[in-house]
Structure 1
């Protein structure tokens, strides 16, 4: 296949878990994909490595403090280097980019998602905060099939709906492995260490999302994300514990028919489908031998023990700026937990107090969300300080 026919992709967050797996998909399908731009937050060594391997035309360091790292002198001479959040958005608008994979961590990815959609690019979205925080701004910008979800669950739902989008949905069954503390009580969780919380039983992920998976906040954020993506009320998006992590989500239609997407627990599958859609390419990973699974188990989450899931539900139902506060407070709380400044259950306490202190507003602009985000982070740090003094 000639270069002209290759899909030209920009990978934002190319050294993170999703970004690295996206590069692996590009590596395996070099005849179909061309990496033309990459970005990192501060891992400039990884940026240079990716830029040299794929011969990219543009590279961006989102954190200006690392824009002059000496290693950047090793970028290819033909590679343009930019820095800062505005440069990240500009990367999405390049004329030589067809598809943007947004794997930026946190609310920082929102402006890049908006830029990609406004520029008419295909957006392969792995940054769930774009929809959690700014879904009211994002979805009106997305043309049909322009925004393709990369989360395994949302990618699964998308696939279940291909060819049957006009049929009335009854519910979405959003699956969850249950994380490393499935079945544990709230009192047990009070003293779990970050080292244990980072040991996810199924997926290999970054530190922040691993903690979100342990608290089940990740699944709460995914419910809000699914609400925006698929236009279903939050109450009709049901979290289902599926410990074997082989069913990646299911859709139930009005007539009682249920369609599930099954497969191995490998993020390269939804990443690749976001690139190949509406086609399917050869698998980038090992296949599942269903003869060896034995059984599939199902259960309901314990929202009394894992309060973050219930808090996300509250924010999603009330809507407006509440999900922005939820996300910002959670990011601050998780960072505090990882640094030893608070306990596991304190994550939920911090988020709840931040939500209680906020006066909800309808979402009107990116600038407004930026102000709410900054307020929620400052408030959450105050809450952490008060917990330390208690």
Structure 2
């Protein structure tokens, strides 16, 4: 029988959150808490359907609108970061954190300090504060279960492995995004409309842009370092356009185990919830006879410089990845508003991280590094001539 009977979901109105609710409903799990941004209409529907004891939104204005809509429902409605953290701390067997970006760090820490096991879809928690998060998880006896498809794949391949000494390397697969094979000249002309068209996955805007720049894969590499306790040189990124092989592990004897399946996030979500067991899922079976060829290529780090910048940031360590992540989040927002170009995203992220001293990884230090990086990006975007630093290109 599954150990998890109750679940709190942070980021419930996003792509991962809505799929997690689909999984939870099919498994018959009790939803104890929901947290979202400002999508009050969707959160209202979720509260009425799943009857959590508590719900939280990003600010008091949205909370007021939600309270007005749910006058007839016995649910406590909270607001702001503290409200989301309260949901994370609440009574549940498992907290699934699918909040987007740096905003996911505070609820990750809140859940861990409350002793809640964590299904982590918010990679940024480990990108910006991996040292802090993993230390607190160990101190509080909290298990962190990966939800990102690549990290879930690695986690699945490692089941039964006696120790990290048996692992030669991890292979993280990347779709390559919509622009794989393009030149820098071609990339200089693309806009948000093209970048938001992912070939294989349906995701939120931020992660879709990160996938297009390959920065997402660099962030996932940093996440894998903390989740699996391996150095950067033991993690390799491979472009696999079909998104059938979700990632693989090569062992000391050079045997390789890979996890394959159709591109559907409900598989890693469900495995995090039911681990160590497997149960039937709503995901369609893979049709082996229609797959065709599976291809594997090296990522072009000279064209997609964000991946290279992430590798450099984690090698420098400390607060440098926090600066890179904050700059990237700010640059992606500016790109979506058409205030900077596609190539400027990685250039600004690398330039901001280059300015950051490693320092000690504390929560306050992370917040300061994040704020400084965002301010740097905004300042560069406001330049009269529209230029941005080019030394990362």
CA shift in 2, pair 1:370/1:198, >3 Å: same
Counterpart position of 2:391: none
Question: Quick check: 1:220–1:308 contact (8 Å CA) kept in 2?
Answer: yes
Question: Quick check: 1:350–1:384 contact (8 Å CA) kept in 2?
Answer: no
Map Cα deviations across residues 283-319 of structure 1 (whole Å, 9 max, x no partner).
2211101121122111000001101010011101111
CA shift in 2, pair 1:189/1:5, >3 Å: closer
Map Cα deviations across residues 347-387 of structure 1 (whole Å, 9 max, x no partner).
11211221222222131x21121111111111111111127
Structure 2 residue 57 is matched with structure 1 residue 61: yes
CA shift in 2, pair 1:261/1:388, >3 Å: farther
* SS of aligned partner of 1:134: helix
Gaps of 5+ in 2: 388-393
Counterpart position of 2:273: 275
Question: Quick check: 2:356–2:369 contact (8 Å CA) kept in 1?
Answer: no
Which of the numbers 116, 119, 125 marks the counterpart of 1:124?
119
Structure 2 residue 17 is matched with structure 1 residue 41: no
Counterpart position of 1:79: 75
Counterpart position of 1:90: 86
* SS of aligned partner of 1:91: helix
Counterpart position of 1:292: 290
* SS of aligned partner of 1:303: coil
Question: Quick check: 1:44–1:72 contact (8 Å CA) kept in 2?
Answer: no
Which segments of structure 1 move beyond 4 Å, counting only runs of 4 or more? none
Structure 2 residue 311 is matched with structure 1 residue 313: yes
For residues 11 and 253 of structure 2, the distance between their equivalents in structure 1, rounded to whole angstroms, comes to: 42
Which of the numbers 195, 198, 201 marks the counterpart of 1:197?
195
For residues 66 and 74 of structure 1, the distance between their equivalents in structure 2, rounded to whole angstroms, comes to: 12
Structure 2 residue 249 is matched with structure 1 residue 251: yes
For residues 169 and 289 of structure 2, the distance between their equivalents in structure 1, rounded to whole angstroms, comes to: 29
Post-superposition shift, 1:168? 1.9
Structure 2 residue 231 is matched with structure 1 residue 237: no
Which of the numbers 125, 136, 140 marks the counterpart of 2:135?
140
Q: How many residues are treated as equivalent by the alignment?
A: 384
For residues 164 and 353 of structure 1, the distance between their equivalents in structure 2, rounded to whole angstroms, comes to: 40
Structure 2 residue 346 is matched with structure 1 residue 358: no
Question: Quick check: 1:212–1:218 contact (8 Å CA) kept in 2?
Answer: yes
Question: Quick check: 1:51–1:76 contact (8 Å CA) kept in 2?
Answer: no
Map Cα deviations across residues 86-133 of structure 1 (whole Å, 9 max, x no partner).
121111111x31110000011011011111112111100000000000
Question: Quick check: 1:9–1:36 contact (8 Å CA) kept in 2?
Answer: yes
CA shift in 2, pair 1:260/1:389, >3 Å: closer
1:169-208 correspondence to structure 2 within 5 Å: 169-208=167-206
CA shift in 2, pair 1:70/1:11, >3 Å: closer
Question: Quick check: 2:168–2:252 contact (8 Å CA) kept in 1?
Answer: yes
Gaps of 5+ in 1: none
Which of the numbers 360, 383, 388 marks the counterpart of 1:386?
383
* SS of aligned partner of 1:199: coil
For residues 6 and 349 of structure 1, the distance between their equivalents in structure 2, rounded to whole angstroms, comes to: 43
Question: Quick check: 1:52–1:76 contact (8 Å CA) kept in 2?
Answer: no
Question: Quick check: 1:320–1:360 contact (8 Å CA) kept in 2?
Answer: yes
Post-superposition shift, 1:388? 4.8
* SS of aligned partner of 2:119: strand
For residues 262 and 339 of structure 1, the distance between their equivalents in structure 2, rounded to whole angstroms, comes to: 36
Question: Quick check: 1:59–1:80 contact (8 Å CA) kept in 2?
Answer: yes
Counterpart position of 1:346: 344
Counterpart position of 1:113: 108
Map Cα deviations across residues 179-221 of structure 1 (whole Å, 9 max, x no partner).
1011111111011111010000000000010000000000000
For residues 106 and 3 of structure 2, the distance between their equivalents in structure 1, rounded to whole angstroms, comes to: 29
Counterpart position of 1:99: 94
Post-superposition shift, 1:73? 3.0
Q: TM-score, normalised by structure 2?
A: 0.94
For residues 6 and 169 of structure 1, the distance between their equivalents in structure 2, rounded to whole angstroms, comes to: 29
Structure 2 residue 152 is matched with structure 1 residue 155: yes
For residues 85 and 304 of structure 1, the distance between their equivalents in structure 2, rounded to whole angstroms, comes to: 38
* SS of aligned partner of 1:372: helix
Map Cα deviations across residues 3-40 of structure 1 (whole Å, 9 max, x no partner).
x976111000100000010011112122xx11111011
Question: Quick check: 1:131–1:138 contact (8 Å CA) kept in 2?
Answer: yes
